[in-house]
């Protein structure tokens, strides 16, 4: 496992937030800013860091309310625009002018907001199983589990629970992979139970009526033009359709590529063979930029 240092920064509204910093960055390469999904955290990028840290520097934040970052006083700040402000403060603190954004699901939505507001920051972008149009089936499934507390007596119990709820997403996984995922998603609490490692109140903004009637993100695709961009889609994804992924690449134009990850749903973990090849190709394009 690649070693990392732990860093902290303060959000504009005074929360102490945490990130992992995997050292690297040969030849002046831009760092990889790894932005996790809704219920995920910095640990989600351990497989990617194990492969890329050293040649590349990886900065993996815990969004507010996740893992080692403080929980928000107001749960209605658990929204993409606030996360964008938090990330902007982190980048300012670290004096990072340009980076490659690697955004999984919610992290990809934040990446789209970065493109819309600070295009000059992006040396490259990976949108992992997310786009301007999200399928209702996937959103409905996410609403069924986000913010519902679980507790397990052991890591194996947590892994088995994950397998039960996610076997359609990762049908090829064995117990070792479910255990590894459990250790990224859960933590040991003070009572000795294994619990999900996020503030259950992150679900509250999702329950507000009309929360889906958000801004049309399709025009943002054009802001990725000229930026090496990879759209990753899980073949079994219920959130990003093949048609949406194809349209994204068409809207971005030259410099965009789509890779479909076979036998995986929402979302690829980035260690699948097809993911590895596609990410290496993206990073080569960033270097040749």
Predicted confidence (pLDDT) per residue in 270-289, tens digit: 999 999 999 999 999 999 97
Closest to 126 in 3D by CA, of 288, 273, 267: 267
Computed over its alpha carbons, how large is the radius of gyration of the chain? 18
Per-residue model confidence (pLDDT) at position 1: 55
The region of weakest confidence among 5-14, 79-88, 136-145, 181-190 is 136-145
Mean predicted lDDT score pLDDT of the chain: 95
Write down the residue that tokens 């199983």 correspond to: 129
* pLDDT confidence bin for 208, thresholds 50/70/90: confident
* pLDDT confidence bin for 258, thresholds 50/70/90: very high
DSSP-H helix ranges across the chain: 46-52, 80-94, 106-117, 136-145, 155-166, 175-185, 218-221, 242-252, 273-288
User: Residue 241 has which token pair?
Assistant: 């359709």
Which of the 8 DSSP states describes residue 14? S
* pLDDT confidence bin for 210, thresholds 50/70/90: low
* Distance from C-alpha of 146 to C-alpha of 106, rounded to nearest angstrom: 13
Q: What is the DSSP string of 134-200?
A: --HHHHHHHHHHTT---EESSHHHHHHHHHHHHTTTSTT--HHHHHHHHHHHEEE-TTS-EEESB-G
Q: How far is CA 219 from the centre of its chain?
A: 22
Please say whether the beta carbons of 52 and 27 come within 8 A.
no
Q: Where in the chain is the domain with CATH 3.40.50.1820?
A: 5-145+215-288
Per-residue model confidence (pLDDT) at position 289: 73
Tell me the pLDDT tens digit for each residue of 17-34.
999 999 998 788 999 999
Please say whether the beta carbons of 265 and 123 come within 8 A.
no
Return the bridge partners of 16, or none.
10
Angle between helices 155-166 and 175-185 (to 10 degrees): 100
Tell me the pLDDT tens digit for each residue of 125-155.
999 999 999 999 999 899 888 989 889 999 9
Tell me the pLDDT tens digit for each residue of 152-194.
999 999 999 999 999 999 999 999 999 999 999 999 999 999 9
Task: State percent of the chain over pLDDT 90.
Answer: 89
Per-residue model confidence (pLDDT) at position 27: 87
pLDDT of residue 215 exceeding 80: no
Please say whether the beta carbons of 165 and 145 come within 8 A.
yes
User: What is 5-145+215-288's CATH superfamily?
Assistant: Alpha/Beta hydrolase fold, catalytic domain (3.40.50.1820)
* pLDDT confidence bin for 207, thresholds 50/70/90: confident
Closest to 268 in 3D by CA, of 235, 243, 241: 235
pTM of the model: 0.96
CB atoms within 10 A of CB 149: 7
């Amino acid at each position: 496992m690649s070693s990392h240092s732990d860093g902290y920064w303060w959000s504009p509204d005074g929360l102490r937030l945490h990130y992992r910093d995997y050292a690297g960055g040969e030849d002046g390469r831009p760092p990889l800013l790894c932005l996790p999904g809704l219920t995920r955290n910095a640990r989600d990028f351990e497989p990617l860091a194990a492969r890329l840290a050293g040649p590349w520097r990886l900065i993996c934040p815990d969004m507010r309310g996740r893992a080692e970052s403080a929980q928000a006083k107001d749960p209605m700040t658990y929204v993409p625009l606030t996360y964008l402000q938090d990330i902007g403060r982190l980048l300012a603190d670290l004096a990072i002018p340009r980076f490659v954004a690697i955004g999984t699901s919610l992290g990809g939505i934040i990446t789209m907001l970065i493109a819309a507001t600070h295009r000059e920051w992006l040396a490259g972008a990976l949108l992992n199983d997310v786009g301007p149009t999200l399928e209702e089936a996937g959103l409905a499934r996410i609403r069924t589990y986000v913010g519902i507390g679980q507790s397990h007596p052991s890591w194996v119990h947590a892994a088995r629970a994950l397998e039960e709820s996610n076997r359609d997403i990762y049908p090829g996984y064995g117990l070792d992979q479910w255990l590894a995922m459990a250790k990224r998603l859960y933590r040991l609490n003070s009572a000795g139970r294994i619990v999900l490692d996020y503030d259950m109140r992150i679900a509250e903004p999702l329950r507000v009526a009309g929360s889906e009637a958000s801004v049309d993100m399709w025009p943002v695709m054009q802001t990725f033009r000229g930026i090496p961009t990879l759209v990753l889609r899980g073949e079994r994804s219920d959130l990003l359709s093949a048609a949406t992924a194809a349209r994204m690449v068409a809207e971005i134009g030259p410099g965009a590529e789509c890779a479909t990850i076979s036998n995986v749903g929402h979302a690829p973990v980035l260690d699948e063979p097809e993911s590895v090849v596609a990410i290496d190709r993206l990073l080569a394009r960033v270097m040749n930029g």
